[in-house]
Amino acid sequence: MIRKYTFGIPFKTDAVVVDMSAAPLPLPLFNTKEENGLTFTYQMNPNDVVYGLGENIRGMNKRGFLYNSLCSDIPSQTEDKTALYGAHNFLIVAGKKPFGLFIDCPEQISFDVGYTDYNSLVIATAAADLDFYLLEEKTLKEIAHAFRVLIGKSYIPPKWGLGYQQSRWGYKNERDFYEVVERHQEKDIPLEAVYMDIDYMERFKDFTIDEEAFPNFDIMVADFKEKGIKLVPIIDAGVKIEEGYDIYEEGVENHYFCTDKSGQPFTAAVWPGRVHLPDVLNPEARKWFGNKYKFLTDKGIEGFWNDMNEPAIFYTEEGLKEAFDYLDSIHDANIGIYECFGMKDAVLNLANNPKDYARFYHYVNGEKIVHTKLHNLYGFNMTRAAAEGFEEIDPSKRFLLFSRSSYIGMHRYGGIWTGDNCSWWQHLVMNIKMMPSLNMCGFLYSGADLGGFGCDTSYDLLTRWLQFGIFTPLMRNHSALGTRPQELYQFEDSGYLRSLIRFRYSLIPYLYSEYMKCALRNELLFMPLGFEYTGDSIAAHTEDQLLYGSSLMLAPVYTQNAFGRYVYLPEDMLYVKYSGTGGRHFCVLDKGIHYLELTLEEFPLFIRRNQMLLLCHPDNTTETLDSSNLEIIAFADKSDYMSYELYDDDGYTKNIDLQKSSKIVLRKTAGKWGASSDNPHITFFDIHVITKQI
């Protein structure tokens, strides 16, 4: 049962798609206090597990820390941070009577999940106007499902969005892009897309192309397309202030930019220096900005990533003045401890300063609203602008779209990547733990910068990260300017990395099928063990294993120099050990704790009881992949029959219908297993049904 409790007059965020009237206050379960916003306190039991908060740092179980719901540009995702790029105010408290909650409010909120007092969940909102949704269902799965129904169906990418994608900040001209493609081809490494970071633009201006560096842009797009490879440009939130630049001039003329107090376009600074911010909260401005993507779709582009949309601000005029004034004031002083710290702070606090977010305004439905009140909706609406633009450009087609900043509701329009991580083992761990929380908030199309964005990667880190990344819907290797190049061909041992990417392509029939079923039925692709094995307290506290779709469990290796890892099996499972360049070994493992020996070039995969995994022959792009000729690996536990619902479609139109699923059946007759399907186009090239030897 879902109930909505309304406090004050909330802003309509469009996070929720189900219209429901408010239940009478007081809010049950919580102690509510109104004073400088609202404070909600809930008394937890010592063993309650708290899931959720979407894109965030720390564990799957959020207990013991304080989180801030405030979309932030965080160049260094260290453990002391309290917020990342998204604001996902959804939690599930898994206690005796589990419940979920969603606070629909775009202003800053803090979630003290047992940080001040281990047994108290204290939620403090800056605003007094909000909708508080309480979700009470019998199981955790049902709560997650009910929430997803409430917020509407997740974004569905084109199938090519599941292919392997290469990115790096620093590809500067056509030659660089051709080189990336050629070197993948030389090493026969599958490749689906190459990303264009800010350098493709003319002086970092959105919807422009640097014609000196890219004299034949359209030809390059077409050339790559012929090879089955897409180019995916970045779009930044800030629009450069430059006379004669059409986007800037149209924006000023039509009042499409956020304004300062006096009603003039507000000036901030990002990559190009001084910019204005499109007022994407204003429907007219949003429509205008969204239609600008046509400049690139007309050139054959079919996918985009939206960046710096928290929005990130390097500095503002006012901030700069304050910093320089301070520096001037100590110019002739004897600079001691306080001046020295003050000097550093004056410069470091220029970027993303809360004071600046209070200096600009949005016009929404005739009302002027200060940005801080709507802060968490900016990235959402920039991405919504693009998605609504695509609807006009070609309503029948699926475009690839994902964003850095987000709010719940944006999951209907695009995916997210998890921003500027580093080449640290700890960030591989964070990636693993974050996936189910993102799924709970509707973000199915997501993934981290594989190999790590900042800092220099190492072969072993990249290897382990890819061994997990082959399962994330967005599978993109991305790195920052100046870091060690990490395209797979940069490594002498690229043969093994290639085999991992080839495995990813074999997995696509299963991944696509599971993704689509989860998106259309509001289910989780990545699920914590505690959601399935209820009542199993070890499963409830297992943070480094994930259920993956209906058939699989993942147990990635995430430590350097690991000789293997411990794994907890909540029930008997089929252990598939992938080794070397594609070799595999099967064995059934009993419920319980096991140590798996795994060299760097080995990773484990588990098939659940009476479930099957379908794989196809790998290929170099999704376009050429034959997903109808399949191999089956199944674990038959005391059963002579099992079935799998396999979904497939053309992968690029919106002609999506689960009725098109095929039923794959495994049946044992006269001691022999055979496979069949109600779809005559599906054939099988290998069947392995493993049973437990007693």
Q: Is 404 in the site for ligand GLC (CB under 6 A)?
A: yes
Residues in 373-392 at the binding interface with ligand GLC, rule: CB under 6 A: none
Report the nearest approach of ligand GLC to the CB of residue 268 (Å).
Answer: 15
**Residue 531: closest CA among 121, 47, 142:** 142
**Is 457 or 627 the residue whose CB approaches ligand GLC more closely?**
457
DSSP 8-state class, residue 265: B
Scan for tokens 């292919």, then name that residue.
Answer: 163
Q: Is 74 in the site for ligand GLC (CB under 6 A)?
A: no
Residues in 287-306 at the binding interface with ligand GLC, rule: CB under 6 A: none
**Is 371 or 478 the residue whose CB approaches ligand GLC more closely?**
478
338 SS3 class: helix
470 φ, ψ to 5°?
Answer: -65, -10
Amino acid identity of residue 601, one-letter, is E
Report the nearest approach of ligand GLC to the CB of residue 210 (Å).
Answer: 14
Q: Are 210 and 199 in contact (CB under 8 A)?
A: yes
Peptide linkage before 157 cis (omega within 30 of 0): no
Query: Using CB atoms, what's the residue nearest to ligand GLC?
Result: 169
**Residue 276: closest CA among 294, 295, 291, 256:** 256
**Residue 444: closest CA among 186, 687, 144:** 144
In this structure, how many other beta carbons lie within 10 angstroms of the beta carbon of residue 181?
18
Q: What dihedral angle (degrees, nearest 10) is formed by the CA atoms of 58, 60, 61, 67?
A: 40
Report the nearest approach of ligand GLC to the CB of residue 420 (Å).
Answer: 5
**Is 403 or 506 the residue whose CB approaches ligand GLC more closely?**
403
- Spatial separation of the C-alpha atoms in residues 402 and 449, rounded to whole Å: 13
Amino acid identity of residue 524, one-letter, is L
**Residue 167: closest CA among 188, 192, 202, 204:** 192
Distance of CA 464 to the CA centre of its chain: 19
Report the nearest approach of ligand GLC to the CB of residue 68 (Å).
Answer: 19
Report the nearest approach of ligand GLC to the CB of residue 676 (Å).
Answer: 46
Residues in 470-499 at the binding interface with ligand GLC, rule: CB under 6 A: 478
CA distances in angstroms from 518 to 308, 554, 651, listed in the order given = 29, 17, 16
DSSP 101-167: EEEE-SS-EEEEESSSSTTEEEEEES-S-EEEEEEE-SSHHHHHHHHHHHH-PPP---GGGGSEEE-
Report the nearest approach of ligand GLC to the CB of residue 546 (Å).
Answer: 25
Report the nearest approach of ligand GLC to the CB of residue 419 (Å).
Answer: 5
Report the nearest approach of ligand GLC to the CB of residue 348 (Å).
Answer: 17
**Is 237 or 552 the residue whose CB approaches ligand GLC more closely?**
237
Report the nearest approach of ligand GLC to the CB of residue 77 (Å).
Answer: 11
- Spatial separation of the C-alpha atoms in residues 345 and 353, rounded to whole Å: 11
**Is 170 or 564 the residue whose CB approaches ligand GLC more closely?**
170
Structure tokens at 139: 């199981």
Q: Are 594 and 567 in contact (CB under 8 A)?
A: yes
Q: Is 519 in the site for ligand GLC (CB under 6 A)?
A: no
**Is 241 or 270 the residue whose CB approaches ligand GLC more closely?**
270
**Is 307 or 648 the residue whose CB approaches ligand GLC more closely?**
307
Residue-wise over 454-468: b if at least 16 C-beta within 10 A, else e?
bbebbbbbbbbbbbb
Cα radius of gyration rounded to whole Å, the chain: 25
Report the nearest approach of ligand GLC to the CB of residue 247 (Å).
Answer: 18
92 SS3 class: strand
- The secondary structure element, H or E, covering residue 253 is helix 246-253
- The secondary structure element, H or E, covering residue 385 is helix 378-393
Peptide linkage before 158 cis (omega within 30 of 0): no
Scan for tokens 């309480």, then name that residue.
Answer: 134
**Is 169 or 295 the residue whose CB approaches ligand GLC more closely?**
169
**Is 311 or 419 the residue whose CB approaches ligand GLC more closely?**
419
- Residues touching ligand GLC: how many (CB under 6 A)? 9
Binding mask 593-632 for ligand GLC (x = CB under 6 A): ----------------------------------------
**Is 84 or 91 the residue whose CB approaches ligand GLC more closely?**
84
**Is 475 or 636 the residue whose CB approaches ligand GLC more closely?**
475
Q: Are 195 and 234 in contact (CB under 8 A)?
A: yes
**Is 422 or 615 the residue whose CB approaches ligand GLC more closely?**
422
Binding mask 201-240 for ligand GLC (x = CB under 6 A): ---------------------------------x------
**Is 476 or 565 the residue whose CB approaches ligand GLC more closely?**
476
Scan for tokens 């080189």, then name that residue.
Answer: 179
**Is 308 or 539 the residue whose CB approaches ligand GLC more closely?**
308
Report the nearest approach of ligand GLC to the CB of residue 108 (Å).
Answer: 22
- The secondary structure element, H or E, covering residue 438 is helix 425-440
Report the nearest approach of ligand GLC to the CB of residue 198 (Å).
Answer: 4
**Is 137 or 307 the residue whose CB approaches ligand GLC more closely?**
307
Report the nearest approach of ligand GLC to the CB of residue 269 (Å).
Answer: 14
**Residue 120: closest CA among 131, 111, 128:** 111
Q: Is 197 in the site for ligand GLC (CB under 6 A)?
A: yes
- H helix and E strand count, the chain: 16, 41
In this structure, how many other beta carbons lie within 10 angstroms of the beta carbon of residue 449?
27
**Is 192 or 420 the residue whose CB approaches ligand GLC more closely?**
420
Q: Is 307 in the site for ligand GLC (CB under 6 A)?
A: yes
Report the nearest approach of ligand GLC to the CB of residue 84 (Å).
Answer: 11
Structure tokens at 37: 């916003």
CA distances in angstroms from 164 to 13, 193, 413, listed in the order given = 34, 7, 22
- Spatial separation of the C-alpha atoms in residues 478 and 232, rounded to whole Å: 13
Report the nearest approach of ligand GLC to the CB of residue 350 (Å).
Answer: 17
Report the nearest approach of ligand GLC to the CB of residue 215 (Å).
Answer: 22
Report the nearest approach of ligand GLC to the CB of residue 406 (Å).
Answer: 13
**Is 192 or 206 the residue whose CB approaches ligand GLC more closely?**
206
Binding site for ligand GLC (CB under 6 A): 169, 197-198, 234, 307, 404, 419-420, 478
